[in-house]
A = this chain, B = another copy of it.
């Protein structure tokens, strides 16, 4: 019988171009807040898991500099990486350490400083985040190109239009306008999005998440410890994790991410949620909208929409508050920003705060079921983590 694990403290930095801080300073903005909110002392931490992709960083031991600056030197620690799903993988590793009985309190911090490197370096590094040798080096495909393949196939097959993609950006910018930590806290229109320049047809600049610096942190605790610390634990109910081929060319279809479907099935099974009932089983979702098409595919991969129906949810505003399932009330990767290693942890922070009714008005979901879903993808569906967070104590 595994031990239950809860979030008992959260921290979140401002996302954006953060040339004012270095990596440990940026991480500490979230660590300080999460430690303070949880009411623990630094000495109480048993393990620190650091999520950081870091290919553009001059720091080869990011976990160590983060720990030193935060006053956590001495603790057991390691770094986790799963491309853009790094933060969720770090949460899984931290959760497992507590569930196994090895630790009572784990600090999970995700941090990324992408603007540290010249832009071409960052763009090339992300470009390689599929299969380097065959597809990047030999055929020149880069990251927006991968998602453009999916977008093209999806639009051709189901009849979605570029305007439908832009509707995702409009929604996410709308909610970002209520989030003071967001990189782009301002509304946009479909027309502005449609006028923005192409990055890889049919994806435009406004279909794409930005290059972001930021951090997020959660303090995780065992059931016994959580009971002493807080009256409002948010439980990690279930985690599904899956991967897919490195080479996109080895995949059978470009209409959705097979890894996301597998991860969702695993998470739902663990939580006892029946296939087809997810939309009424959650109050909200944060999904991985690195490009707008990714959010539409996520609706379908998660079972919130039927196959080929995802873009209709957007047209009908069914993923705004008041619709079927509100999605990306933080602003999403698109408008909140996407500091690679921090994103999955940022989703966890958002889930905890939303479920507890603690986010800014304008973007607070109505909480009825008491459960939220985070969907975090690394690469182009190379990794996917689907994590369910709940106000109700999960099955042990």
Interface of A with B (CB < 8 Å)? Answer: 1-3, 22, 47, 53, 55, 58-61, 63-65, 67-68, 72-83, 85-86, 89, 92-93, 95-102, 125, 128-133, 137, 239-247, 250, 258-259, 262-263, 266, 378-379, 382-383
Contacts and interface: CB of A to CB of B under 8 A. Distances in A.
B96 A102 contact: yes
B89 A96 contact: no
A346 to B, nearest CB: 18
A60 B99 contact: no
A68 B245 contact: yes
A330 to B, nearest CB: 23
Contact of A78 (B81, B246, B263): B81
Nearest to A270: B102
A98 B61 CA distance: 27
B242 A60 contact: no
B125 A262 contact: no
B133 A78 contact: no
5 contacts: A47-B241, A65-B133, A74-B262, A79-B80, A98-B100
A115 B258 CA distance: 35
A259 B74 CA distance: 6
Contact of A58 (B65, B96, B132): B132
Q: Chain A at the B interface: mostly helix, strand, loop or mixed?
A: mixed
A82 B83 contact: no
B61 A382 contact: yes
A100 B96 contact: yes
B80 A78 contact: yes
Contacts of A101: 1-2, 99-100
B78 A132 contact: no
A174 to B, nearest CB: 33
A89 B133 CA distance: 28
B79 A82 contact: yes
Given A2-B100, A2-B101, A61-B131, 11 more contacts: A1-B1, A55-B60, A60-B132, A64-B379, A65-B132, A68-B245, A68-B246, A73-B244, A76-B240, A78-B383, A99-B100
Nearest to A97: B96
B97 A61 contact: no
Contacts of A250: 68, 73
A64 B102 contact: no
B74 A242 contact: yes
B74 A243 contact: yes
A3 B101 CA distance: 9
Given A100-B100, A101-B1, A61 B83 contact: yes
A82 B92 contact: no
The 7 closest A-B pairs by CB, nearest first: A76-B241, A99-B100, A78-B89, A100-B100, A2-B101, A96-B96, A68-B246
Contacts of A68: 131, 245-247, 250
Given A74-B242, A74-B243, A241-B47, A129 B60 contact: yes
A77 B241 contact: yes
| Most B C-beta atoms less than 10 A away, residue of A1, A81, A130, A262 | A81
B2 A379 contact: no
